[in-house]
Structure 1
Amino acid sequence: MFVTSAPALELEHVSRHFDGRAVLSDISLAIAPGKITCLLGQSGCGKSTLLRIISGVDRPEPGGRIRVAGTELVGPGRFVEPEDRRIGFMFQDYALFPHLSVAENLAFGLRHLPKAAQRARVAEVVERIGLAHLLDRYPHSLSGGEQQRVALARALAPQPAILLMDEPFSNLDQGLRERVRRETVDILRRTATTAIIVTHDPQEALSMGDMIVLMRAGRIEQVGNPFEIYDRPCSAYAAEFMGPCNRLTGIWSKGRIETPIGTFPADLDLPDGALALACIRPQALSIGPDGQGISARVMAKTFTGESEQIDIMVHPLAQTLRMHSHVRIPMGIGEKVSLQLNGAQIHVFPETPEVNGHPAADS
C-alpha cells in the first residue's frame, strides 16, 4: 500500500447510459486514501455500475475521467485495462476457485511473482487475517464466514491501491453477517486499505463507512460521514433512506414550520405561507401520562426486544405517528397519553411534488 497526498480515487463527470437510459449521470467524487467509503442506495441506483467502471470492466461515456493516486486511468484518448489498474475486486458470491485449495486461491493473483515472493506474500496475508488453519482446505468445506475471509485475503494479496467490494455480506445470515462485517472492517483498518463497499443497507453503511455516498437514480444525493448523513440529511429522501421518519406537512412562517403537533425552526429560504415538510425520527417522540403534553392515544404496540414500537394518534392527523422507546411503556392500547418531542431529531425541508410523493425504487 503506497502513501500519497493525492486522493486515492478521483472521478470527474462520469456518466453511463444503457439503451438510451441514464444509469449514471455526471458523477464527480474524491476518495481519501486508507478510508472505507460506502456506496449506498436502492437496487438499480447505479452503484454497482459505478464499481464496474472504476474497476475497468465497463467504460464511462466520453468526457469522464478517473484517476488513482493522481495517475489518470480513464480520460480523453486513455483507457487503462483492468489488470493494469492495481484495483482489487471482491465479488458478491466470493468467486473462489472450487478446484484450488485456500493457499492456491490466495496465490492465484500473484502468478506474476517468483514462487518465493508468492509464498512470502501469502504467508504475510495469512498471518494478518488468521487463515493458517484453512490453507489446505477447499472452498466447499468452508463456512460462509470462512469463504468471505478467504475471498478478502485473496483480494488483498496483490496489494491493490483500492479494493472494491460489491455487497460482500449479503450472502450471510443476520447473526453471521454482523460478526463477519466487524472482522472485515478491522482487517481493512489494520491494513490501511482504501476500500469502496457497495451496500443497500443504511445500517451497514453507518457502521462501516468513514464516508457514505448516498446515490439515487444514477446521481449522488449526498456525501458525508455517517453523522453528517444521518443527523443532517440534505433532503427528505436522504432522511427517510437513512432511517424511519414520520412525515408532517406544515406551513412555513417566520423561520419555522407550523404543524399540528408543534412548531420547529429550520434554516430554509422559504416565503411565509409556503408548504414545508417535517421528517420526525421515531426516537424524537416520547409519551407520558395524559395532561403533560400534546393529547394523544395509543393505537398499537409492538415489542421487539431491545425496544417497543408504539403507534399513537394525534388529532387532527389522519395517520398515526410511530415512536420507538427503550423504556417500557405501561399505557395500553386505547389509553390516552401525552406526546412530547425532542426537536434534535426533526428535519425540515421544502415541500415539493417530488418530496410529497414517496419515490419508487430507482430502476
Structure 2
Amino acid sequence: MLEVHRAAKHRGGRLLWRDLSFGVACGEVLALTGPSGSGKSTLLDCIGLIDSLDSGTVRIDGTNAGRSPGRARRLRRDHLGYLFQDFGLVPDMTVDANIRIGRPGRARTVLRTSVAEALERVGLAGRGSDRAHDLSGGEQQRVALARLLVKQPDVILADEPTSALDDDNARMVLEALADFASAGAAVIVATHAPAVEDWAATVLRFGPIDPR
C-alpha cells in the first residue's frame, strides 16, 4: 500500500502541485497523466525517495522515510521497483549483472524467481551473458522487466515505460505490469500515451503548472 498525504513540490520557483493526497492499494494500477512539465516524473521521484517533497508525506507499507537517508535506502531496497523510459541499465554490464542489481547481497538460493527463469519469461532465455549495450531498446526494457520479476517489489514506479517501444514491446510491458498488479503490487505509471491511460484502472490527471 502506498499513501501520499498533502504533498507539495516546487520546481524552478514554480508550484507543481500542493495538497496532493491519494493512495494506491496492493493490486491497483494508477496512471499519472497531464502536459509535459506538470510534475508527473517529479512525483514518481518523490514517491521513489529519489527526490524529496517540500511538504507532506509518502508512506510505503505504512513507513514514512521522512528525512532519514537510511530509512529511504531500506525502503528502496525492500519495497520499490523502477521501470524507466531509458531502461535504467548499466550499458557495459551483462544482462545477468543488470538484473542482479535489483537484489544486492542476496544469495541466489533465496531469489523467488531466478535470473534464468525471469529471462525466459520475458523472451530472452540464454541472453544473460550479453552486454546491455548490444541489445535493442525493446530487449533492454525486457531486461528491466526481468529485474522486477527477480526483485518482486511491493510498489512499481514506471516513467513513460512504453514511449520508446514499438507496439509489440509496449503491449508486452503493459501485460507484465498488469501481471505484477495481479500478484499484489501497487503500480504507478506516468504516461502521455492514451492507450496506457485507457489501460489503467485509475487515472490521476495533472493540469497546467501554476506559475506561483
Question: 1:56·1:81 contact (CA, 8 Å) conserved in 2?
Answer: no
User: Which of 83, 95, 102 is residue 102 of structure 1 equivalent to?
Assistant: 95
- Whole-angstrom distance in 2 between the partners of 1:47 and 1:114: 36
Deviation at 1:150, TM superposition (A): 0.7
Q: Residue 80 of structure 1: CA displacement?
A: 5.9
Structure-2 separation of matches of 1:120 and 1:157: 5
In structure 1, C-alpha distance between the alignment counterparts of 2:71 and 2:57, rounded to whole Å: 14
Partner of 1:355: none
* Larger RCO (CA within 8 A; separation ≥ 6): 2
For residues 102-129 of structure 1, give each alpha carbon's deviation from its aligned partner in whole angstroms, at most 9, with x where no partner exists: 1121112222212443596424533544
- Greater helix share, 1 or 2? 2
Residue 81 to residue 48, structure 1, CA distance change in 2 (3 Å): farther
Using the TM superposition, name which of 17-26 and 119-128 deviates more: 119-128
- The 3-state SS of whatever aligns with 1:67 is strand
Choose which of 196, 201, 204 in structure 2 pairs with 1:210.
Answer: 201
Give me the TM-score of the superposition, normalised by structure 1: 0.52
Alpha-carbon spacing, 1:83–1:131, altered in 2? closer, same or farther (3 Å): farther
- Which residue of structure 2 aligns with residue 68 of structure 1? 60
Q: 1:84 aligns with which of 49, 71, 74?
A: 74
Residue 144 of structure 2, aligned match among 134, 151, 154: 151
CA shift digits 1:311-342 (9 cap, x unpaired): xxxxxxxxxxxxxxxxxxxxxxxxxxxxxxxx
CA distance in 1, matches of 2:8, 2:172: 33
Partner of 1:264: none
Aligned to 1:188, the other structure's residue is in SS state helix
Q: 1:150 to 1:110 in 2, by over 3 A?
A: same
Runs (5+) with no aligned partner, structure 1: 1-7, 220-361
Q: CA deviation at 1:54?
A: 0.4
Q: After TM superposition, list the pairs within 5 Å mapping 1:111-260 onto structure 2.
A: 111-117=104-110, 121-173=114-166, 175-189=167-181, 191-207=183-199, 209-217=200-208
Distance in 2 (CA, whole Å) between partners of 1:57 and 1:204 is 24
Q: Name the structure where strand makes up a greater proportion of residues.
A: 1
Alpha carbons 2:32, 2:206 under 8 Å: kept: yes
- SS at 2:6 equivalent: strand
SS at match of 2:115: helix
Q: Please tell me the residue identity of whatever aligns with 1:210.
A: A
What are the ranges of 5 or more consecutive residues in structure 2 without an aligned counterpart? none
Question: Which is higher, the Rg of structure 1 or of structure 2?
Answer: 1
CA displacement 1:134-181 (0-9 Å, x = unmatched) = 2222223323222111112213422222010100111124x3454334
Q: CA RMSD in A?
A: 2.6
Q: Deviations over 1:67-117 (max 9, x none)?
A: 11222233xx66665421121122210021222221121112222212443
Identity over aligned residues, as a percent? Answer: 35
Letter in 2 for 1:27: L
1:133 aligned counterpart, secondary structure: coil
Asked if the contact 2:65/2:72 (under 8 Å) is kept, the reply is no
Distance 1:48 1:134, change over 3 A: same
Q: Give the whole-Å Cα distance in 1 for the aligned partners of 2:15 and 2:83.
A: 26
Q: Which residue of 2 aligns with 1:34?
A: 27
Quick one: distance in 2 between partners of 1:80 and 1:13? 23
Aligned residues, how many? 208
